[in-house]
Chain A
Amino acid sequence: MNRRDFTKFLTTSSLLLGVSCHRPEIFHFTNVKQEHSTSYENIIKYCTNFHFANFPIGIFVETYEKLPFRITGDKINFFNKGVVPKSALGSIYNLYDKHRLSKPVVNGKETSLNEALEHIFAKIEKNLAQDKMIAVFMPLINSPFLKFKISQIENFTDKIIFIGIPPFDFFSSQHQANYISLKKNLYLLNDITKATTIINFGRDFLEHDPFYPFFVSRLSDNRNLKIFTFEDTYSLTGANSDVRIPIRLNDYLMFGLSFLKKLLQTSNQKNFYENFIDTFNGIELPTIPENILPHLEYQLPNIHFLCNDYLPPSMQVINLLLNFFSKINSPKSLKEKLISLDLQYYTQNKQKLEKFLKYPDEFNLLIFLDYDPYFYINSSLLKQVGEFSPENLITLSLYKSKLSENSGIFIPLQHYLEYWLDLENLDKSVCSQQQIVLPFNTHSISLPEFICLISNKIEPNATTNIYSDELIDFYKKFYNDTSELSENIRNGLFLTSAKSLEIEIDFKALNVQSIFNFLKSEIISPTKNTLSIRIIPEQDTYAGMYSNNVYLKELPSSVEGVSWDTPIFIPSQLAQEKEIINYSKIKILSGSNSTTLPCVVLANITIHSPFLIYRNNYYFEQFFHRNNPKAANFDFLIPNISELTINCEIQPTNDKFEVAKLNRTIALEEISQKLAPLIENSTQMYSNKIQPPGNKWTMIIDVDKCIGCNLCILACQIENNIPVVGKEQILQKRDLYWINVIQLKTRNGKRKFIPILCQHCDYAPCESVCPVGATSHTTDGINEMTYSRCIGSRFCMANCPYNVRRFNFKGAEDTHINFEPKMTNPFVTLRSRGITEKCSFCIHRINFERTKSSLFGIKDFSVTTACQEICPVSAITFGRKSNILIGSEKIKDLKVLLPNLNTLPNVFYKIEYENL
């Protein structure tokens, strides 16, 4: 090796070490390949896993010079291919939160990390010497290494108990139902790959669902399926389904029973049918809508029943039976569609929690590891914790909070991108949660490291003191070659899948009669004259855990289009009865408690009872602006998540409340005139001036595929450094989003979503009016924007027929709430105030690929835009015109916005009006 190569080697190795010093494979495996870091532009790709509701979601994070910000969902070999949820996109930015960077506190005084840890260990030893119990609360993490470590500690002493708590209690009802019907400890996840029809009982599997990536990745393959949704709220799944049937909460069980009756009739199960008639004699069951009946008769094995996890166990049992009886004639298909999730770990932890709630007097010291009873919905636990004195409370959390103020010792924790961990998948493979950056906060400690420290203190067996070494040593047992393990780690795995997915359940042992008796006992006659509010925890902000994240707060909710607030949605009938005005505050009374909340009256949509999507915004307002008197608290509305509702009264008030709404709806007749095929003569009219069309960048948006999840808006915002403007600006209609999603109500009552972005017209009306030539046209057909040249005359905005240009009323630093220069994309300029901006077709990505291809001598190159990369149903395609639109026949099927203006847009839409 000559000197120059030696220096090159030095720089590349220092680059690797500089980005992440603790990457285990660098320390442990000598063969670090050069491909590991792509040498161009310091980009390093990492595979990490976002832990969400007790199961991992795989994501790729690309870092540019120590900055993790670009997230891609592709190239992952787990079960959830290519889908990134909003929460994963948004929570990356919690890494940069200023509130995170604080020092450990012991008895009100700031100290160093080591001192605080010594205080904790001294307390633990003191308690163990006095034979008193210690409870450690933490989120339920499905990590084999942590389970092993915890079991080591618990085997050594009975006095320390680790209680893992899932954020929402969504497993409980499913679990209970499985136990009632099958006497097994299983969670049944319905695989909908081969289904042609889905009958859905209130499950919003397109948005507020922990298994969202799993469902959507399967849905994107198969768009020929029909969805029938029964729901008591209004959700994205309801909006996208072919038939939406609004029902009351009590009706779920009755509808389920009538489905069961119909199925037993058709599937030739006479014994069961007679049993059913006998037990439910005299109970009136509602009639099934006529649209669904033919599907029940002819497409039985391909039908799938989905049920909301929060619905009571009786409904879960019915859902299980429905899935069973629809496939009883073809047991093979049944086997394929059931996936198990072992719930032993879950039940053990639940028993531990019950033990704590029963005998709290036995415990002397409580340690909260990334678990805050104030955030999660568990009021009974909060009551118990309140009786402990601050001396006996220890918290380790990301932020200072109400809990940390009341506790003696506080240590800041690390973000999940700052430490290593292992997570178990549904197929028993173990994926790695990789460290991506060095911890920002030098006083912080990671959750697994803390547990390792405790176990090493109590039982000093470990060979090394470094946590990541221990993690690697744990997995070395399973391998003969270390090189195999190092390759797996690079792909984001510790262990490849060991067991098969299929499970066998002995359905002959099913005691149907006892199940029917159980169901009959569950039927409650609906009580009249009581009002109940349905509360749904929002999965994106983790029911409030991430609601300090401004990106997620400003993003309009997909169906209602509300940003920044958590209003209560009220049916129009109820509003008329109670004389409630839209966008006003209403008073909610329940017992002695009362609170006021903003309301939105849903006029065009039928729902029967008001509902609230629980985003816990108000908590955070209390935490970060403690003296804010406006912060409302609706604790009392959430008694227990399994109870679903609470009976209360609603009173109108005179206070008005402005709700920031971004959604725009359009009628079908109007859009069919505006979104139409290109006029044939128009291409000939300007043919002399136009560049050869094959070279142009074009985008095709498949409106039939689009589910309207608004992920493209969020991805675009993060990619292009679009500032978060705040509620006041949105109320003045000064939002800065480059993509608008317009809703379309069809004749069926179904909703269609049309994303509208800059059309990059060949004859752009905006270009000709610009007095300074800030917008111009490239040879690639991109309508480019030169921000440094723009003087803010806004002529282009006035002349744009598509209304896609946005004016930056404040600079990036003024507008951005929680602005940190670190979290911006270094390839896109930060815009100053007083300029117009719009979609650039991700021109920095195009330039990046162009330079890369010219450096390495590649002629053709493909580009994926940020919105295309993130789209869960792959509704967006982007590329050269000649590659995407081959032949003239395809262009005829495609539609274009406002074709009569002859602007010749380069964004095409696939939409068929005949089916709508």
Chain B
Amino acid sequence: MKIWKSKSIALILIFSLCFLNFFLLLNYLRNGIGFQPKQNISFSHKLHSKYKIKCLFCHDQAETQSFANIPTTKTCMICHIALRTESPLIKSVITSYDSLILLSYQKVYDLPDYVRFSHSLHLRSGIDCATCHGLVDQMDSLYQVRNITMGWCVDCHKNPEKYLIPPRQISGIFYPSDTIFNLTNLQFFSSSLPSGTLQTFLPIPKKINKASVECSICHN
């Protein structure tokens, strides 16, 4: 009987350990820090940010819409129609542009269907890209930095001071104070730009406000 008891205890222990491992694994899968899928095209953010290309040059929809777009091949071809055309990596881009076969990327940050996240709203309230995406300009291939779960979102909404990063030049969202662009110069631009573009230039926020944590803000 004693042996039986000890055996059963051992079994229970093994099962519980398995369960623990399982939940740890689940947790690991869920938080996704370090998630780095293999991309078809080895695009380097680090290389491009060397030449001071702003984030919003390619991901321009992030400013006005909820989705930050993955740029089309057209965007690549603005420069690469003339630059480094002989490089084998660029050649594959050019062939896709000519043959109208789209380049496919793996999503690194993927939210569930039941979550609404608006990039434009967050940019408007003065949140730098790096707050969620990390220092992308120093990554060769992109990987996940933050644990994009509801707990993290709510924590940031409640205590934004913990996570917020001051706006940087490379993101291209804000007017850095040391550049020639002053707010007074905006009027000069407004005449030459198509209507509706003026509002996309965003002012630097003066203070950080706590965001709302109502369910329906993200879950419709």
Q: Which residue of A lies closest to B193 (CB)?
A: A5
Is there contact, CB below 8 Å, between A11 and B114? no
For residue A118, CB closer than 8 A to chain B, the reply is no
Q: Report how far A854 CA is from B121 CA in the complex, Å.
A: 8
- B-contacting residues, A1-43, CB 8 Å: 3-11, 14, 34-35, 39-42
Asked if residues A41 and B214 are in contact (CB atoms below 8 Å), the reply is: no
Q: Contact: B219 with A787, CB < 8 Å?
A: yes
Contact present for B114 and A787 (CB under 8 Å)? yes
Question: Which segment of B39-47, B134-142, B194-202 sits at the interface?
Answer: B194-202
Please provide the chain A residues from 781 to 816 with a CB less than 8 Å away from any CB of chain B in the complex: 782, 784, 786-789
**Can you list 29 pairs linking A and B with CB atoms under 8 Å apart?**
A4-B56, A4-B57, A5-B194, A7-B78, A9-B194, A11-B60, A11-B61, A11-B69, A14-B72, A14-B74, A35-B195, A779-B214, A784-B215, A787-B114, A788-B112, A788-B114, A788-B219, A827-B220, A829-B113, A830-B113, A847-B216, A847-B217, A851-B118, A851-B120, A851-B121, A854-B124, A855-B64, A855-B120, A856-B199
Q: Is A778 an interface residue when CB atoms closer than 8 A count as contact?
A: yes
**B60-A7 in contact (CB<8A):** yes
CA distance A830 to B72 in the complex (A): 29
Decide yes or no whether A453 CB sits under 8 A from chain B: no
In the bound assembly, the distance between CA atoms of A760 and B30 in angstroms comes to: 35
A382 touches B (CB below 8 Å):
no
Interface 1/0s, chain A 566-598, versus B by CB < 8 A?
Answer: 000000000000000000000000000000000
Determine the distance from Cα of A561 to Cα of B65 in the docked complex, in whole angstroms: 43
Q: How far is the CB of B190 from chain A (nearest CB, A)?
A: 13
C-alpha gap A14/B56 in the complex (Å): 18
Please state if A840 and B60 are interface contacts (CB–CB under 8 Å). no
Chain B 112-133, CB within 8 Å of chain A: the 1/0 string?
Answer: 1110101011001000000000
State the CA gap A492–B124 with chains docked (Å): 35
Q: Smallest Cβ distance from B14 to chain A, in angstroms?
A: 30
User: 1/0 per position for B142-183, CB-CB distance to A under 8 A?
Assistant: 000000000000000000000000000000000000000000
Cα A782 to Cα B74 in complex, Å, equals 44
Find A39's partner among B69, B112, B196 (CB 8 Å cutoff): B196
Q: Which residue of A lies closest to B216 (CB)?
A: A784
Whole-angstrom CA separation of A542 from B62 in the bound complex: 45
Chain A residues within an 8 Å CB radius of B57: 3-4, 7
Minimum Cβ distance to chain A for residue B117 (Å):
11
Contact indicator B195/A7 (Cβ below 8 Å): no
List, in ascending order, chain B residues with CB within 8 A of A296's CB: none
Number of A-B contacts (CB under 8 A): 86
B-contacting residues, A839-860, CB 8 Å: 840, 843-844, 847, 851, 854-857
From 23 to 80 in chain B, residues with beta carbon under 8 angstroms from any chain A beta carbon are: 56-57, 60-61, 64-66, 69, 72, 74-75, 78
Question: Chain A's nearest CB lies how many Å from the CB of B89?
Answer: 21
A782 and B194 alpha carbons, distance in the complex (Å): 39
Please tell me if A690 contacts chain B, counting CB pairs below 8 Å: no
Residue of B nearest to A12 (CB): B194
Considering the chains assembled together, what is the distance between the CA atoms of A363 and B75 in angstroms?
A: 60
Which of chain A's residues 529-567 have a Cβ closer than 8 Å to chain B? none
- A916 part of interface (Cβ distance < 8 Å): no
Say if the beta carbon of A302 comes within 8 Å of chain B: no
With known contacts A784-B216, A827-B220, A829-B219, A5–B64 Cβ distance under 8 A: no
Q: B116–A776 contact, CB under 8 A?
A: no
Between A3, A7, A14, A830, the greatest number of chain B beta carbons within 10 A of the residue's beta carbon is seen for: A7
A39 touches B121 (CB 8 A): no
Q: Which among A8, A41, A829 is the interface contact of B65 at CB below 8 angstroms?
A: A41
Contacts of B193 in A (CB 8 A): 5
Return chain A residues, CB-CB under 8 Å to B114. 787-788, 829
Expressed in whole angstroms, the Cα–Cα distance for A787 and B114 within the complex equals: 8
Tell me what chain A mostly uses at the interface: helix, strand, loop, or mixed.
helix
Interface residues as binary, A819-847 with B (CB distance below 8 Å gives 1, 0 otherwise): 00000000111100000000010011001
In the assembly, what is the distance between CA of A7 and CA of B172, in Å? 15
| Closest chain B residue, CB of each to CB of A845 | B220
Q: Using Cβ atoms and an 8 Å threshold, which residues of chain A touch B65?
A: 39-42
Interface string of A261-304 (1 = CB under 8 A from B): 00000000000000000000000000000000000000000000
Which residues of the other chain, B, contact A778 by a CB distance below 8 angstroms? 214, 216
Contacting residues, chain B, for A844 (C-beta < 8 A):
116, 220
Annotate B198-213 by CB proximity to A: 1 below 8 A, 0 otherwise.
0100000000000010
Interface size range on B against A: 20 to 34
Known contacts A5-B193, A786-B219, A855-B199; decide if A847 and B214 are in contact (CB<8 Å): no
Task: Please state if B116 and A847 are interface contacts (CB–CB under 8 Å).
Answer: yes
- On chain A, the residues within 8 Å of B196 by CB distance are 34, 39
Are B197 and A10 touching (Cβ within 8 A)?
A: no
> Smallest Cβ distance from A5 to chain B, in angstroms?
7
Q: How far is the CB of B113 from chain A (nearest CB, A)?
A: 6
- Complex formed: what's the CA distance from A789 to B116 in Å? 15
Which residues on A sit within 8 Å (CB–CB) of B220? 827-829, 840, 843-844, 847
Given contact pairs A7-B78, A844-B220, a sample of 6 additional A-B residue pairs in the complex whose CB atoms are under 8 Å apart: A8-B60, A39-B64, A779-B214, A829-B219, A829-B220, A840-B220
From B74, B114, B193, residue with most partner A Cβ within 10 Å: B114
Whether A857 and B199, one on each chain, are in contact in the complex, defined by CB atoms closer than 8 angstroms, is yes
Whether the pair B66, A41 counts as a contact (CB closer than 8 A) is yes
B36 vs chain A, min Cβ distance (A)? 27
What residues of chain A lie closer than 8 Å to B199, measured between beta carbons? 855-857
Q: Separation in Å of the B212 CB from the closest CB of chain A?
A: 8
Query: Are A786 and B124 closer than 8 Å at their CB atoms?
Result: no
A861 to B137, CA, bound (A): 39
B64 touches A40 (CB 8 A): yes
B93 to chain A, nearest CB (A): 16
Contact of B78 with A3 in the complex, beta carbons under 8 Å:
yes
Question: B121 — nearest CB in chain A belongs to which residue?
Answer: A851
Q: How far is the CA of A34 from the CA of B197 in the complex (A)?
A: 11
Q: Quick one: closest B residue to A843, CB to CB?
A: B216
Q: Which of B70-124 contact A (CB under 8 A)?
A: 72, 74-75, 78, 112-114, 116, 118, 120-121, 124
What's the nearest-Cβ distance from chain B to residue A670, in Å?
34
**In the assembled complex, which residues on chain B have CB atoms less than 8 Å from the CB atom of A776?**
214-215
> Nearest CB to that of A782 among chain B residues?
B216
Contact of A10 among B74, B113, B216 (CB under 8 A): B74
In whole Å, how far is B75's beta carbon from the nearest beta carbon of chain A? 6
Whether the pair A6, B78 counts as a contact (CB closer than 8 A) is: yes
Residues of B within 8 A of A789 (CB): 215
Question: Judging by beta carbons under 8 Å apart, are A855 and B219 in contact?
Answer: no
Distance in angstroms from A699 CB to nearest chain B CB is 17
Alpha-carbon distance between A661 and B212 when the two chains are bound, in angstroms: 44
Q: How far is the CB of A835 from chain B (nearest CB, A)?
A: 11
A4 CA to B189 CA, complexed, in Å: 13
Q: Give the docked Cα–Cα distance between A30 and B199 (Å).
A: 26
CB distance from A606 to the nearest CB of B (A): 47
Q: Using Cβ atoms and an 8 Å threshold, which residues of chain A touch B197?
A: 5, 8
A-B pairs with lowest CB-CB distance, top 10: A784-B216, A786-B215, A844-B220, A829-B114, A788-B114, A778-B214, A786-B219, A843-B216, A851-B121, A34-B194
Taken together as a complex, chains A and B put the C-alpha atoms of A7 and B197 apart, in Å, by 13
Which residues on the B side are within 8 Å of A830 (C-beta)?
Answer: 113
Report the separation of the CA atoms of residues A733 and B91 in the bound assembly, to the nearest whole angstrom: 62
Q: Is the CB of A4 within 8 A of B216?
A: no
Least CB distance from B37 to A in Å reads: 24
B219 to chain A: closest residue by CB: A786
- Which residues on B sit within 8 Å (CB–CB) of A827? 116, 220
With both beta carbons as reference points, the residue of chain B lying nearest to A827 in the complex is identified as B220
**B124 adjacent to A855 (CB under 8 Å):** yes
- Name the A residues within 8 Å of B116 (CB-CB): 827, 844, 847
Chain A residues positioned under 8 Å from B214 (CB to CB)? 776, 778-779, 784
Residues of A with C-beta under 8 A to B120: 851, 855
A829 to B64, CA, bound (A): 22
Min CB distance, A784 to chain B, in Å? 4
With both chains docked as a complex, state the minimum distance between the C-beta of B118 and any C-beta of chain A, in angstroms: 6
Q: How far is the CB of B213 from chain A (nearest CB, A)?
A: 10
- Closest CB in chain B relative to A222 CB, distance in Å: 38
Residues of A within 8 A of B60 (CB): 4, 7-8, 11
